[in-house]
Amino acid sequence: MSSTATVKTAPVRTRPDWRGGPWRLPPGLKHDMMFYANKPWVRLGNPIRLFEHLHREYGNIACYQFLGTPIVFVNDPEYVREILVTQGAAFAKERTVRRMRVLLGEGLITSDEPFHMRQRRIAAPAFHRQRIAAYAEEIVQSAAGFAERVRMDETFDIADASMELSLEIVARTLFDAEVDDDIRSINDETNTIMGLYNFIVAFPRFESFLHLPIPGVTKFRRAKARLDAIVDRIIREHRAVAASSGKGDRGDLLSMLLTSRIEVLDAEGRPTGEVETMTDVQVRDEVLTIFLAGYETTANALTWTWYLLSQNPVAERKLHEELDRVLAGRLPTLADMPQLKYTEMVFAESMRLYPPAWVMGRMSLKPIELGPYRIPAGSHFFFSQYIMGRTAEYFPDPLKFEPERFTPEAKAARHKYTYFPFGGGSRQCIGESFAWMEGILSIATLAQRFRMVYAGEAEPTVQEKITLRPKGPLLMRAEARS
């Protein structure tokens, strides 16, 4: 996709007084979205087509309406920074993210201020750099065990395999457990709910109908009840073991969440002398959030990385040369990461083309000014890591897989918010350093042993839900490196 495509020079539209004053909205669709329901770029469950159409027709900022609410699609990195950072306090989570509270409760992804900042302060020690570093060995051992189980020259679904590896890593680091029936049940129930994602988002006031015997609602309610019961029991067991052993922190993320404390601050930000902890309900919300964000996203990123390497032999050869030089046949360690620069660039470039979190949204709490535009309170703003990463204005020849885009010099030459796979501002993903470590060490461990050969018959397509999964199996064949 290129932002140099022909752009319609529609004049800035001016609204009459509405919610407090005159508005200058970006160019875009003249009618409510319902008017365009039969267009090929409007399809439930595939908003990427809509965003591509808006960008192609109107440029890097465009507007449309849905049931009277202005919705602004932004593909300009400076405007993204305005929304996430400069004017961040003027925005809250938009409707589709808030709707996921029925699954994640008031976790770090879904909660708004000031509760979000309180939870982030309590959870922060669990994601401290030194704490995260302790999980490097678990990641490598899980990846090495996975490599031993791979049968050479047999075709398998790399998406399922990556999910299995990521599930084992999150079990060890989040729960200090192996992949047992409980962990698999959490995975199964989460996948059931993710399968209902489009239904949950599209269903008007979904949370108000949870008690009704509607098929999709009933399926969600039962899966959520089973999910909560399993996580609640794991939390109780962690607390019981801590009480009997006198050791609250077992080294896993759940233990840290249960033992973390912060000082209570007054209205002016001064310590009051009191401390706060998370309730079990709050811990459960964060566990589900970490599970989804730390398992699903990394697994998808690794899936697309193996596919892209299989299609780009030059990049694959450079990766193997780095691994041979740095590791010389041994397993990687945390200390090797500063030398695994090309491995990191491969992972970064994969997330440019196939970002696991592919879109972000915000709702304005007050009138917003972006460049020449003035947009009313209550408007929704969307910006897509997927669209931004495939825009030629920011990444020339954008569909080409080119890890060298992420050399220090290349990154310094670009606006920071042309690439934001983990968000930005005060709500930037708290687990970002863990995700980078998991991705780099997993790639380094596996790519030493074998190379992946794509065994599918056509280019894979994406399905955009909360994360960017491949649609259907993504078939690979592992071959031993010569």
Compute the distance between CA of residue 358 and CA of residue 165 in angstroms, rounded to an integer: 22
Tell me whether residue 5 is in a domain: no
pLDDT at site 199:
64
Tell me whether residue 8 is in a domain: no
Angle at 238 between CA 438 and CA 235, to 5 degrees: 85
Tell me whether residue 323 is in a domain: yes
pLDDT at site 186:
79
Compute the distance between CA of residue 135 and CA of residue 386 in angstroms, rounded to an integer: 29
Residues 140-171: b if buried by 16+ CB within 10 A, e if exposed: bebbbebbeeeeeeeebbbbebbbbbbbbbbb
pLDDT at site 3:
40
Would you say residue 183 has pLDDT above 50? yes
- When pLDDT is cut at 50, 70 and 90, the band that residue 329 belongs to is very high
Q: Within a 10 A sphere around the Cβ of 475, how many other Cβ atoms?
A: 17
> Would you put residue 329 in left (φ > 0), alpha (ψ -120 to 50) or beta?
left
Residue 123: which domain range? Answer: 13-480
Tell me whether residue 4 is in a domain: no
Tell me whether residue 118 is in a domain: yes
Structurally, the chain folds into a number of domains equal to 1
pLDDT at site 204:
57
Would you say residue 31 has pLDDT above 80? yes
Q: What burial class does residue 113 get, using C-beta atoms within 10 Å of its C-beta: 0-12 exposed, 13-18 middle, 19+ buried?
A: middle
Q: List own/partner pairs for 430-435 with CB under 8 A and 24 or more apart.
A: 430/108, 430/120, 430/123, 430/124, 430/127, 431/127, 431/290, 431/293, 431/294, 433/127, 433/129, 433/132, 434/127, 434/132, 434/135, 434/173, 434/294, 435/294, 435/297, 435/298, 435/301
Pairing of strands 23-25, 13-15: antiparallel
pLDDT at site 7:
39
Q: List, for residues 59-94, the tens digit of each pLDDT value.
A: 999 999 888 889 999 999 999 999 999 999 999 887
Q: List, for residues 343-394, the tens digit of each pLDDT value.
A: 999 999 999 999 998 999 999 999 999 999 999 999 999 999 999 999 999 9
How many percent of the chain have pLDDT more than 70? Answer: 88
pLDDT at site 404:
98
Mean pLDDT, the chain, whole residue set = 85
pLDDT at site 18:
45
pLDDT at site 389:
97
Tell me whether residue 2 is in a domain: no
CB neighbour list of residue 363: distance below 8 Å, 6 or more residues apart: 91, 92, 93, 94, 95, 378, 379, 380, 381
Q: Within a 10 A sphere around the Cβ of 17, how many other Cβ atoms?
A: 8
Per the model's pLDDT, the better-predicted residue between 157 and 223 turns out to be 157
Compute the distance between CA of residue 320 and CA of residue 448 in angstroms, rounded to an integer: 7
Compute the distance between CA of residue 233 and CA of residue 147 in angstroms, rounded to an integer: 32
- When pLDDT is cut at 50, 70 and 90, the band that residue 12 belongs to is very low
Tell me whether residue 1 is in a domain: no
CATH label of the domain that carries residue 78 = 1.10.630.10
Q: List, for residues 383-430, the tens digit of each pLDDT value.
A: 999 999 999 999 999 999 999 999 999 999 999 999 999 999 888 888
Would you say residue 19 has pLDDT above 50? no
Tell me whether residue 429 is in a domain: yes
